[in-house]
Homo-oligomer: A and B are copies of this chain.
């Protein structure tokens, strides 16, 4: 009997991997391209960064939130939020007031200056988003929405236990 011939599928050739077909890679590149573009948009027009934009976005409705609330809603970590808030205090975009029931929590509100930015920036943001999905039909847009939601849920489930929820993000 001849020795067992190692079959090709066993170990020899690992399925080839083309980076440009690899989903994590593609998501990363796409998210980066998009983030860079909008970051430059916000930066040149309003002098704010993406973390600051996110904070403006969640406070723009006039709500008053604590830093922790903001971190949860923006998927940024508390360090990032803390730093962004301190920048925004310097540039008079935000108001901080100690809560009286719990003095650990600081209640944050946008200043009129920030609200003005909000009013101007939201249409720009939506316009960019519209341009980005320009080539998609309404049905495709709905499908994309669907798929992203499901992928995010799956990614969260597969995420390292250290960050099971409230994932931090580079920018956007």
Interface residue tally on A, bucketed by range: 35 or more
Are the C-beta atoms of B172 and A154 separated by less than 8 Å? Answer: no
A89 contacts the other chain (Cβ, under 8 Å)? no
Instruction: List residues of chain B with CB within 8 A of the CB of A136.
Output: 147, 150
Q: Check B118 against A14 for contact (C-beta < 8 Å).
A: yes
Copies in the complex: 2
Contact A33/B122 with A28-B169, A73-B19, A132-B158 known, Cβ cut-off 8 Å: no
How far apart sit A40 and B24, CA to CA, in the bound complex (Å)?
13
Q: Which residues of A are in contact with B by a Cβ distance under 8 Å?
A: 11, 14-17, 19, 22-38, 40, 54, 57-58, 60-61, 73-75, 118-119, 122-123, 125-126, 128-129, 131-136, 140, 143-144, 147-148, 150-152, 154-156, 158-160, 162-163, 167-172
